[in-house]
Amino acid sequence: MYIARRGGKSQVRCKDDSDHGLDAAAIIDLRTLKGTGGGIISPMRPKGSAEALEVRRRIAAHLLQQGKGLREVARLVDAAPSSVFRWQQALQQRGMEALQARAHPGRPPRLTPQQKQSLADILRQGAPAAGFPTDLWTLARVAQVIERSFGVAYHPGHVWRILREMGWSPQKPE
């Protein structure tokens, strides 16, 4: 699958060099297609942004709606027939919305917002109140407080991410 420009108009072109009547601009902004790839031999997620993969699913849906067979569509959009079958089922059950890209938020944070608020309160009280001999907060000390207070172990090198997320910044002691 690639984009062809003819006469100032961008069109989606499939492996068989046909456009199947699909205007690429009508599907999605072409800039999101940059660097897309894919392939049916890799067991991993195909390469490309979520938007580019959504374009591929939408193209497959249009081809299926035109009456093309599963294997032909799979060959044209460079996907596994089982994926095209899954897209077809989703299309029949929930419509085109089922083919939209979904957010993948990643791993949930190990500290809850309430725990982060409690951490901020502890830090405001000062290091001596937390049992340290000087009033200097280091990443290692903050990591110890987090583990002692909430039972969550962080490497000191990662504590700065939590502090930055909470709006704290590094300070030089006077």
For the chain, what are the domain ranges?
Answer: 2-99, 113-165
Q: Provide mean pLDDT across the span 104-127.
A: 93
Kindly state the helix (H) or strand (E) to which residue 21 belongs, with its residue range.
none
Q: Provide mean pLDDT across the span 47-73.
A: 91
Q: Provide mean pLDDT across the span 117-131.
A: 96
The predicted model scores a pTM of 0.47
Reported for 81-88, long-range contacts at CB under 8 A and 24+ positions apart, including other chains, are 84/60, 87/57, 87/60, 87/61, 88/61, 88/64
Residues 6+ apart with CB under 8 A from 75: 15
- At 146-169, the pLDDT tens digits run 999 999 999 998 999 999 999 998
Residue among 37, 63, 62 at smallest CA distance from 49: 37
